[in-house]
A and B are shown apart, each in its own frame.
Chain A
Amino acid sequence: MLPAADVVELSRLQFGLTAMFHFLFVPLTLGLSWILVICESMYVMTGQQVYKDMTRFWGKLFGINFAMGVTTGITLEFQFGTNWAYYSHYVGDIFGVPLAIEGLMAFFLESTFVGLFFFGWDRLSKGQHLFVTFLVALGSNLSALWILIANGWMQNPVGAVFNPETMRMELASLGEVFFNPVAQVKFVHTVAAGYVAASMFVLGVSAWYLLKARDTGFALRSFAIAAGFGLASTLSVAVLGDESGYTAGEVQKVKMAAIEAEWETQPAPAAFNLFAIPDQENERNHYEVKIPYVLGLIATRSLDKEVTGIKDLKVEHEVRIRSGMQAYDALSKMKAGDKSEAVKAQFAKHEKDLGFGLLLKKYTPNVIDATEAQIKAAANDTIPQVAPLYWSFRVMVGLGMWFLFIFAASFYFLARRNLAPQRWLLKLAVWSIPLPWIAIECGWFVAEYGRQPWTISGILPTRLSASALDAGQLHFSLIGLLGIYSLLFAVEMYLMLKYIRLGPSSLHTGRYFREAQAQQA
Chain B
Amino acid sequence: MMIDYETLKLVWWALIAVLLIGFALTGGFDLGAAALLPFVGKTDEERRVAINAIGPTWEGNQTWLITAGGAIFAAWPLVYAAAFSVFYIAFMLLLFALFLRPVGFDYRSKVTDPRWRTTWDWGLFVGGLVPAILCGVAIGNLFVGLSFRFDDTMRVSYGAGFFSLLNPFSLFCGVVSLAMLLLHGATFLHLRTDADVQRRARTAVIAFGLVTALLFALGGIWVRQLAGLHIAEIGDVNGVVTPLSKSVQVGEGGWLANFSLWPLAWLAPVAGLAGALLAALSGYLRWQWPAFLASGLAITGIILTAGLALFPFVLPSSLDINSSLTVWDSVSSRKTLAIMLGVVIVFLPIISIYTTWVYRVMRGTVTVDRIRKETHTSY
Contacts and interface: CB of A to CB of B under 8 A. Distances in A.
Contact of A171 (B72, B335, B348): B335
B56 A115 contact: yes
Contact of A81 (B84, B89, B339, B340): B84
Given A96-B77, A101-B343, A113-B358, A107 B63 contact: yes
B57 interface: yes
B107 A108 contact: no
Contacts of B335: 170-172
A376 to B, nearest CB: 25
Contact of A488 (B99, B151, B343, B355): B99
Interface string A74-97: 110110111101101100111111
14 contacts: A74-B95, A78-B91, A85-B84, A99-B73, A101-B343, A115-B362, A116-B361, A123-B362, A163-B240, A165-B240, A166-B240, A170-B336, A477-B88, A488-B103
Contacts of A77: 66, 69-70
Contacts of A123: 361-362
Interface string B244-266: 00000000000000000000000
Given A63-B106, A70-B102, A492-B103, A96 B70 contact: yes
A480 B348 CA distance: 35
A68 interface: yes
Given A104-B348, A166-B240, A477 B63 contact: no
Given A92-B81, A99-B70, A491-B103, A174 B347 contact: no
A104 B95 CA distance: 21
B336 A94 contact: yes
A1 interface: yes
Contacts of B118: none
A508 B77 contact: no
A121 B362 CA distance: 11
Contacts of B237: none
B157 interface: yes
Given A75-B95, A81-B81, A118 B70 contact: no
Category for how many chain A residues contact B: 35 or more
Contacts of B78: 89, 92
Nearest to A509: B376
Given A81-B83, A477-B92, A491-B107, A114 B77 contact: no
B332 A93 contact: yes
Nearest to A174: B339
Contacts of B63: 103, 107-108, 111-112
Chain A CB within 10 Å — which of B78, B88, B339, B340 has the most? B88
Contacts of B154: 86, 89, 166-168
A102 B69 CA distance: 11
Contact of A114 (B59, B156, B351, B362): B59
B89 A107 contact: no
A107 B362 contact: no
B105 interface: yes
Interface of B: 55-60, 62-63, 66-67, 69-75, 77-78, 80-85, 87-89, 91-92, 95-96, 98-99, 101-103, 105-107, 110-111, 151-158, 240, 242, 332-333, 335-336, 339-340, 343-344, 347-348, 351, 354-355, 358, 361-362, 376-378
Given A80-B80, A104-B348, A107-B67, A96 B332 contact: yes
B85 A81 contact: yes
A85 B361 contact: no
A495 interface: yes
Given A92-B74, A488-B99, A1 B67 contact: no
Given A97-B340, A123-B361, A174-B339, A92 B95 contact: no
Interface string A494-511: 010011000000011000
A1 B354 contact: no
A292 interface: no
Given A63-B106, A96-B77, A484 B57 contact: no
A484 B103 CA distance: 12
B84 A82 contact: yes
A473 interface: yes
Given A66-B106, A93-B333, A480-B92, A86 B67 contact: no
B333 A104 contact: no
B141 to A, nearest CB: 16
B56 A469 contact: no
A468 B158 contact: yes
B256 to A, nearest CB: 30
B153 A93 contact: no
Interface string A55-75: 000000001101110110011
Given A115-B57, A468-B157, A67 B106 contact: yes
A111 B67 contact: no
A65 to B, nearest CB: 10
A112 B70 contact: no
Contacts of A107: 63, 66-67
Given A66-B106, A104-B351, A1 B80 contact: no
A260 to B, nearest CB: 36
Contact of A92 (B55, B83, B332): B332
A345 to B, nearest CB: 22
B354 A78 contact: no
Chain B CB within 10 Å — which of A88, A123, A172 has the most? A88
A71 B103 contact: yes
Given A89-B154, A99-B74, A112-B355, A78 B95 contact: yes
A55 B213 CA distance: 49
Nearest to B57: A115
Contacts of B107: 64, 67, 491-492, 495
A320 to B, nearest CB: 21
Contacts of B103: 67-68, 71, 488, 491-492
Interface string A3-25: 00000000000000000000000
A290 to B, nearest CB: 46
B340 A88 contact: no
